[in-house]
Amino acid sequence: MKKRILIAAVIAASILGGALFGGVLRETPNAASAEIARAEQQVEDFQAGFELNASTAAFVQGLQSKLAVDEHDEHAWLLLGLAYQQRARETGDPAYYSRSQGAVERALSLDPKDAFAVSGLGSLALSRHRFAEALALGRRAHRLAPTVARNYGVIGDAEVELGRYEDAFRDFDTMNRLRPDLSSYARVSYGRELRGNTAGAIAAMRLAIDAATGALEPTAWTHVQLAKLYFNHGRYALALRETRLANRIFPGYAYGLDAQAQAEAAFGRTGAAIRLERQAIDAIPLPQYVAALGDLYRVTGQRARAQRQYELIGAIEKLLTANGVKTDLEIALFQVDHGISLRHALERARLAHAERPSIDGDDVLAWALARNGRCAEALPYSRSALRLGTRDALKFFHRGMIERCLGRRATARTWFARALALNPHFSLIWSPVARRYAS
């Protein structure tokens, strides 16, 4: 497996041309610091634990048993905290975030200078959508261990959500130079996607798949991310292939089931899409899955069932909020899309934008303003949402609706045509609207 990773790094150097936004995959320094060696050992212990037990749940149980014997084992507390974060991703249960915080903070109390524990709290803050906090923790970890790659990932992820893209791209570049692996390749892919470089994004995500080291959930996750790249650019057959691979690798995988449901819906197979989305919700009842199922019911004329799904989202939001997860941007988008409490949704969109002044924050605020009839005010935010050159059909559609609202019908048709050319089935609700207005 290590040989496979080395081969992937060599392929990256040739395919990616040795640069993300100005030079990646330069040779890692020969002399690793003590901090690098320790942090990398912890990463390897963490990954090895998963592979040895074949499941995160078994890994958690093993660590809990170890800590029952020695509650002063800082290393075990840290690994347990990270395993809880993985369990949150696998199960969708936000209670694992609170457990992770307790375990990592316990590790940090035993060793206040453990940079890996600090970055663990940073990754937890990212999962909870607390990006300013994540940035502060990432920088703190970086001060403790300036040459550890993981810290650059935490910092860069936070910077993306805070709209500091050039800083983020530089940090991803440094991360990939220090340690080319699944995490860094995935960030390369996302950075290229943001810049509108679809081919580069796909190439980098393929490298992430090669670097997944055989761990089941991470491997499935990379296939889902590749599927999303294909889907977002209208390549539905390839998207379906990747989602099926993900679901074979990690059966019952909610992220794979949801992505496969989207691909099936794009082919018009709404019955299959509904079955898959139900399975995704049974595995992890995330708000976006519940909303997607509601939309599937809506477009198939099952209005009462759709409404029941929409009403569930409020209960899920309360559970997430109780465990420290901020959801203003996502819930605002849902409300705006579905015409629910539009004035309140606009207030939430403003709050979310203040905390996440990213292109997504810009786009949701623009859409909320437009749906409230404030299209002149919406236009600058829509322009800002597209400032990186991101190829996103939904953002193109929102821009078209704003232009149409302002009476510029010809310009609006151009934006609708761009959205449909990129991804004809970008939205169950809004794609038909785009087709109607594009003609």
pLDDT digits (tens, 9 = 90+) for 125-138: 999 999 999 999 99
State the pLDDT confidence band at 16, using cuts at 50, 70 and 90. Answer: very low
For residue 145, tell me if it sits in a domain: yes
Which of 176, 182, 128, 124 lies closest to 154 in space, CA to CA?
A: 124
Same domain, 243 and 276: yes
Query: Predicted confidence band at 213 (pLDDT cuts at 50, 70, 90)?
Result: confident
* Phi, psi dihedral angles at 184 (to 5 degrees): -75, -40
Count of C-beta atoms within a 10 Å radius of residue 27 = 7
| Residue 259 counted as domain residue | yes
Q: What is the pLDDT of residue 369?
A: 98
Q: How far apart are CA 334 and CA 168, in angstroms?
A: 28
Co-location of 298 and 312 in the same domain: yes
Provide the residue range defining the domain that includes 297.
234-326
Domain for residue 334, yes or no? no
For residue 404, what pLDDT is reported? 98
Whether residue 316 is predicted with pLDDT greater than 60 in this model: the reply is yes
Token pair, residue 376, equals 């002149």
Please say if the pLDDT value at position 62 is more than 80.
Answer: yes
Distances (CA, A) of 239 to 214, 228, 366: 21, 7, 29
85 and 173: one domain? yes
pLDDT value at residue 40: 46
Residue 4 has pLDDT above 70, yes or no: no
What digits encode the pLDDT tens for the residues 389-415?
999 999 999 999 999 999 999 999 999
Quick one: pLDDT band at residue 388, thresholds 50, 70, 90? Answer: very high
Same domain, 100 and 175: yes
Confidence class of residue 212 from pLDDT cuts 50, 70 and 90? confident
Last residue of a domain, one of 273, 300, 326: 326
CATH number of the structural domain spanning residue 376: 1.25.40.10
Name, in order, each residue with C-beta under 8 angstroms of 309's C-beta and a sequence gap of 6 or more.
290, 291, 293, 294, 297
Q: What is the mean pLDDT of residues 155-164?
A: 98
Q: Do residues 153 and 241 share a domain?
A: no
Does 60 lie in the same domain as 176?
Answer: yes
Same domain, 215 and 241: no
86 and 225 share a domain? yes
Confidence check: pLDDT of 243 > 80: yes
Handedness of CA 364, 366, 368, 370 (dihedral sign): negative
Residue 55: pLDDT band (50, 70, 90) is: confident
Q: What's residue 30's pLDDT?
A: 34
| Contact (CB, 8 A) for 238 and 230 | yes
Please give the pLDDT value at position 236: 98
3-state class of 249 per DSSP? helix
Mark which of 326, 358, 373 sits at the end of a domain: 326
Of the pLDDT bands very low, low, confident and very high (cuts 50, 70, 90), residue 25 is: very low
User: Does the residue 111 lie in any domain?
Assistant: yes
In this prediction, residues 188-192 reach a mean pLDDT of 97
Range name among 16-25, 366-375, 376-385 with the lowest pLDDT average:
16-25
Please, what is the average pLDDT of the chain?
Answer: 88
Q: Calculate the alpha carbon distances from 399 to 269, 383, 403 in Å.
A: 29, 8, 6
Give, in order, the Cα–Cα distances in Å from 219 to each of 30, 280, 306, 359.
Answer: 29, 18, 33, 28
Do 188 and 111 lie in one domain? The reply is yes
pLDDT of residue 218: 87
Give the model's pLDDT for residue 169: 96
Domains of the chain: total = 3
Q: Using alpha carbons only, what angle is made at residue 373 by residues 367 and 378, rounded to the nearest 5 degrees?
A: 45
pLDDT per residue as tens digits for the range 328-361? 999 999 999 999 999 999 999 999 999 999 999 9
- Residues 81-120, buried b or exposed e (16+ Cβ, 10 A)? bbbbbbbbbbebbbebbbbbbebbbbbbebeeebbbbbbb
Of 233, 248, 273, the residue at which a domain comes to its end is 233
Q: Is 120 found in the same domain as 20?
A: yes
Q: Report the predicted TM-score, pTM, of the whole model to 2 decimal places.
A: 0.86
**Same domain? 364 vs 318:** no
Nearest in space to 391 (alpha carbons), one of 430, 418, 416? 418
On the question of pLDDT at 29 being above 90, the answer is no
Residue 313 lies in a domain: yes
- pLDDT value of position 229: 98
How crowded is the C-beta side of 237, counted as CA atoms within 13 Å?
A: 0
In a domain, 274, yes or no: yes
Within-domain flag for 174: yes
Please give the full DSSP string across 23-66, using - where no structure is assigned: ---PPPPSS--HHHHHHHHHHHHHHHHHHHHSSHHHHHHHHHHH
- Asked whether residue 63 carries a pLDDT value surpassing 90, the answer given is yes
pLDDT tens-digit readout, 289-302: 999 999 999 999 99
Q: Which residue from 190, 248, 178, 184 is spatially nearest to 211, judged by alpha carbons?
A: 184
Q: Report pLDDT for 332.
A: 96
Residue with tokens 């994004």: 201
Q: Is there a domain that residue 336 lies in? A: no
What's the one-letter identity of residue 182?
Answer: L
Q: Are residues 134 and 36 in the same domain?
A: yes
